[in-house]
Amino acid sequence: MNKIIFSIVLTTFLTGLHAQEQSDRTSKQTMKSNPAPLKEWYRMAGSELIFSQGNVTANGQKLENKTRFSLFLHFQHLHNYNFNKFLGIYAGLSLINVGFINKLPIPGSTDSELRQRS
């Protein structure tokens, strides 16, 4: 539990959070509803921490599943281009570690734990 709290605090302090652009209240110019530039490339980057869980059914039997928290730093970097206000394209790369932890019942023995990652 201490590792999880430490990771959340560390991530919070290492990443910059910018939700909105700051507006100039003294200016008579109003902000656009879509501040993304038109006919110009721009970049976006992000990261996240993931809680994952899956619904797994094998031979009609639902397997017990644990929620998995990934301490791996997930990162994405996107390049965007807007042709007009309604149409654009994007391309980029993401590095994400997603996985599941399932318990497999084995008759006449203890349950086995299966860890799957992609």
Tell me the pLDDT tens digit for each residue of 7-29. Answer: 777 676 666 555 555 555 544 45
One-letter amino acid of 88: G
Given a contact cutoff of 8 angstroms between Cβ atoms, the answer to whether 94 and 45 are in contact is no
Q: Indicate the pLDDT class of residue 90, thresholds 50, 70 and 90.
A: very high
Q: Which two tokens stand for residue 12?
A: 């919070």
One-letter amino acid of 6: F
| CA contacts within 13 A on the Cβ side of 42 | 10
Region of residue 90 (phi > 0: left; psi between -120 and 50: alpha; otherwise: beta) = beta
Q: Using DSSP, state whether 64 is helix, strand or coil.
A: strand
Instruction: Name residue, tokens 């860890």.
Output: 115
| Res 114 pLDDT > 90 | no
